[in-house]
Amino acid sequence: MNPCVHSATQLLTHVLLGRADTMGLLPDLDDLYDPSSRKHLQANTFPTQEAIVDALQALALVFQRYGVNVLYPDSVPNCNQVFVRDLGFVIDDIWIQSNIIPHRARELEGLTSLKKLIPEEKQLTFPDRVHLEGGDVLYHNDCILVGICTRSDYASLLTARTNKAAVAVLSSAFPNKSVRSFELIKSNTIPEKNALHLDCCLQLLGDGLAITCPEGFAIAKEYAWLVHHIGASNIFEVTALEMSQMMCNLISISAGVVVSDPRFDRLNDWLRKRGITVEEVDFSEVAKQGGSFRCVTMPLKRLP
């Protein structure tokens, strides 16, 4: 299979979807690496494996209805394999394997079969010094947007997933593209003060539309550039609370079809008024782990 993704809104034909049947027992607090998961484990509201399996199956049925070929990672026992977006991503015709945090290393074992499907010359890996997770990379035509963290306490931040070295390496790998970075807010303990990845506070949709959370960006002038680039009238802004509920984290099947959560009635109404079909799937339990529709999907092919 030759990968092909030039934009986040082209017609999706092949996608790797996360799986939850390998989650295993309830995790210990020390095993969790995002504030939403920690919050819900402490509150005894952590999602069950059954609930996540059901949500992913509901999303798979939507994909199948639109003719999308759904693939799954190989089974890795007692491993959370829900959020496959971070493990790898496609830019143009190149599949890039991410350098994820050590806590998630076992998830990469589930990519063995996928990597056999993709020609070796279409695969790219980066040096260990380059920290990069797929949720921090958004791409559209000639522009690559990257969420980063450069804080002095980077090493102690479990929520810091992509460093500045990733920007330089992406620029070198794709010299014909414009690569722009955004410093994100980070917190190990407070979901509303943490943009785990760029796709938690920014989503590109439709024909030039976007969902953003201004409070997810640590540097005001970087967010101002984004608003100017996209156009204020094309942006739907969400609050920090809505960001923590994963309102920015949707997936486009095409420019005219988006999968969203029925909880997001304000957003869904805005999208429908702009001519976009909204397919609703209840992902409220998935969101308790700090991710949603974009996080559980790795688009492999979109029709240009």
Domains of the chain: 11-303 (3.75.10.10)
Side-chain-side CA neighbours of 136 within 13 Å: the count stands at 33
pLDDT value of position 24: 85
- Across the chain, mean pLDDT equals 96
Q: How high is the pLDDT of residue 278? A: 98
Tokens of 156: 């102690």
pLDDT tens digits, 285-304? 999 999 999 999 999 999 98
Q: What are the Cα distances from residue 247, in Å, to 109, 210, 227, 268, 294?
A: 30, 12, 18, 10, 11
Averaged pLDDT for residues 120-146: 95
Tens-place pLDDT, residues 32-81 = 989 999 999 999 999 999 999 999 999 999 999 999 999 999 999 999 99
Q: Is the pLDDT of residue 273 over 90?
A: yes
Per-residue pLDDT band for 85 (boundaries 50, 70, 90) equals very high
Tens digits of per-residue pLDDT, 209-256? 999 999 999 999 999 999 999 999 999 999 999 999 999 999 999 999
Amino acid at 260: S
**Are 249 and 200 in contact, with CB atoms under 8 Å apart?**
yes
Q: Do 12 and 258 touch, CB atoms closer than 8 A?
A: no
Confidence of residue 185 (pLDDT cuts 50, 70, 90): very high
pLDDT at 140 over 90: no
pLDDT value at position 1? 94
- Give me the residues paired with residue 202 across strands: 212
Check residue 143 and give its pLDDT.
94
**Local structure of 50: helix, strand or coil:** helix
Percent of the chain with pLDDT over 70: 100
DSSP H or E stretch at residue 142: none
So what's the pLDDT on residue 25? Answer: 84
Q: pLDDT tens across 4-13, in order?
A: 999 999 999 9
